[in-house]
Structure 1
Amino acid sequence: MSATALKTAPMPQDIKARKGGTPIVSLTAYTTPMAQLMDGVCDFVLVGDSVGMVLHGLSSTLDVTMEMMILHGQAVRRGLNSSMLVIDMPFGSYEESPEQAFRNAARLMSETGAGAVKLEGGSTMAQTIEFLSKRGIPVMAHIGLTPQSIHTLGGYKVQGRGPAADQMMVDAKAVAAAGAFAVVLEKVPETLADRITQAIDIPTIGIGASASCDGQILVVDDMLGLFTAFKAKFVKRYSHLGDDAKSAIDTYAREVQARTFPAPEHVFADEAPKQKAP
């Protein structure tokens, strides 16, 4: 995208205003080069705490630290001009009290340049969301499957089936009333996601929810086929870059062992080539 074609990055209120309009496009990013590819294509880019599993080999998001989120948030911010940056609050950085949440959210935003933070939880986090929102911290909520709570949820299971649907609706209405500008619905039954989308006045961002949500998000390494440790039903592989990379690495190894790489065009002569006369 040329400099003259750059658009202004949206603000949280711009995302909120998209309710019921053109679907909101978003992806995760953890590095500058990936953020550059998304810039201006995604309405917002999320630095997710999934970075712990995708890039650091952790078994869950629970061991992700503030320092990790800040490091990757800074990297992604360098790659964005036309998309808003949202950053996850890691486990243990906001649950204790609204005051704790404010201190850590303010640090995340000031050290990364993020336009908003995202935190997990429904009704139990409503007070914290309201506290942050009234103090200048825009909050994206996250309900349904909340990965930071996998131990209490019993694993990576669909949330909101049967009687649990009523509580999910209560949670959605609570975070909207508390001041969240959008809410992620993760691994929620389609009909429930549709009901929630119709019932609240802030955008719903689906991941394993419904095409009728106000927007969608995926982990970019999942949809590109770079992270294949496990395959969720809701992930569509738009490419298979992991397979391509493995093939390229294998070819490189064979060429090194056969001494066909580096070839003459990849090495340097004893003398620099002479410049041609004008």
Structure 2
Amino acid sequence: MSATARKSAPNAEDIRARKGGGPLVSLTAYTTPMARFMDAHCDIVLVGDSVGMVLHGMASTLSVTMEMMIMHGQAVARGLSSAMMVIDMPFASYEEGPALAFRNAARLMNETGAAAVKLEGGVEMEETIRFLVKRGIPVMAHIGLTPQSVNTLGGYKVQGRDDAADQIMADAKAIERAGAFSVVLEKVPASLADRITAEISVPTIGIGASAGCDGQILVVDDMLGFFTAFKPKFVKRFADLGDAAEAAIAEYAAEVRARSFPAPEHVFADQAPAKKGTANKGTGK
């Protein structure tokens, strides 16, 4: 997209106003180049704490720090001009109470330029979300499977089946009351996601939820095939770039070992070649 054709980035109220409209498109990003690739195509780019697993090889998101989120947030911000940037609050940066959450949310936004923060939790986070929103911090909520609670949830399991659906619905109503401008629904049954989408006034963004949600999000390294340690059921690989990258690296290694790379066109001569039209300059010939 040309510079003159770029749209301005949406804000929290713009996203809220998309409820029931055309689906919102969202992906995670952690680096400047990837942010540039998705800027013209996404409404929301999330700097996710999934960076810990995807780029840093961590076993979960629990060890991701504020400093890591700020570093990756700054990188992503350099690649965006059309998409809204939202940044995850890492584990232990908000659960203790509203005041701590405000300090850390304000720091994340101030140091990265993010337009909003995302935090996990429903009913138990209602007071905190309300506190942040009243003080100028737009909040995207995240309910259903909340990866920062993986140890208490007993793993990365589907949430909200059978009687547990009432709790997920209560979480959705709580974050709506608190003033969140949107909510991520992760790994919940499609029928429950559809009910929540119909009953709350803010956009729902599904990941392993339902095509009926107001939008969708995926981890970019999952959908591009870069992250291959495991593949959740809800991930569609739109490319297999991990395989392509490994094949290219193998070809490079083979050419280096065969001394066919670098070839003559990749190395430099002792003298720079003469520029065209200057070989006889000053001789009169």
Amino acid across the alignment from 1:43: D
TM-score (normalizing by structure 2): 0.97
Deviation track 1:195-221 (CA, whole Å, cap 9, x = no partner) reads 000000000000000000000000000
Aligned counterpart, 2:36: 36
Aligned counterpart, 1:231: 231
Amino acid across the alignment from 2:95: E
What percentage of residue pairs aligned between the two structures are identical? 76
1:116 and 2:138 matched: no
Aligned counterparts, 1:64-103, within 5 A: 64-103=64-103
Amino acid across the alignment from 2:232: A
Aligned counterpart, 2:133: 133
Number of aligned residue pairs: 278
Deviation track 1:104-135 (CA, whole Å, cap 9, x = no partner) reads 00000000000000000000000000000000
Aligned counterpart, 1:266: 266
Aligned counterpart, 1:195: 195
C-alpha distance in structure 1 between counterparts of 2:229 and 2:188, whole Å: 22
1:207 and 2:223 matched: no
Aligned counterpart, 2:282: none
- Provide structure 2 residue ranges, at least 5 long, that are not aligned to the other structure: 279-285
C-alpha distance in structure 2 between counterparts of 1:37 and 1:261, whole Å: 30
Amino acid across the alignment from 2:90: P
Amino acid across the alignment from 1:81: S
C-alpha distance in structure 1 between counterparts of 2:42 and 2:3, whole Å: 17
Aligned counterpart, 1:156: 156
C-alpha distance in structure 2 between counterparts of 1:116 and 1:17, whole Å: 16
Deviation track 1:24-76 (CA, whole Å, cap 9, x = no partner) reads 00000000000000112100100000000000000000000000000000000
Amino acid across the alignment from 1:196: I
Aligned counterparts, 1:247-262, within 5 A: 247-262=247-262
1:171 and 2:165 matched: no
C-alpha distance in structure 2 between counterparts of 1:205 and 1:3, whole Å: 29
Aligned counterpart, 1:24: 24
- Provide structure 1 residue ranges, at least 5 long, that are not aligned to the other structure: none
Amino acid across the alignment from 2:27: L
Which SS does the other structure have where 2:197 is aligned?
Answer: helix
Consecutive aligned runs of 4 or more in structure 1 exceeding 3 Å deviation:
none
C-alpha distance in structure 2 between counterparts of 1:275 and 1:246, whole Å: 40
C-alpha distance in structure 1 between counterparts of 2:229 and 2:28, whole Å: 17
C-alpha distance in structure 1 between counterparts of 2:276 and 2:258, whole Å: 36
Deviation track 1:83-109 (CA, whole Å, cap 9, x = no partner) reads 010000000000001000000000000
C-alpha distance in structure 1 between counterparts of 2:8 and 2:258, whole Å: 51
Amino acid across the alignment from 2:134: K
Which SS does the other structure have where 1:14 is aligned?
Answer: helix
Which entry has the higher C-alpha Rg, 1 or 2?
A: 2
Which SS does the other structure have where 1:163 is aligned?
Answer: helix
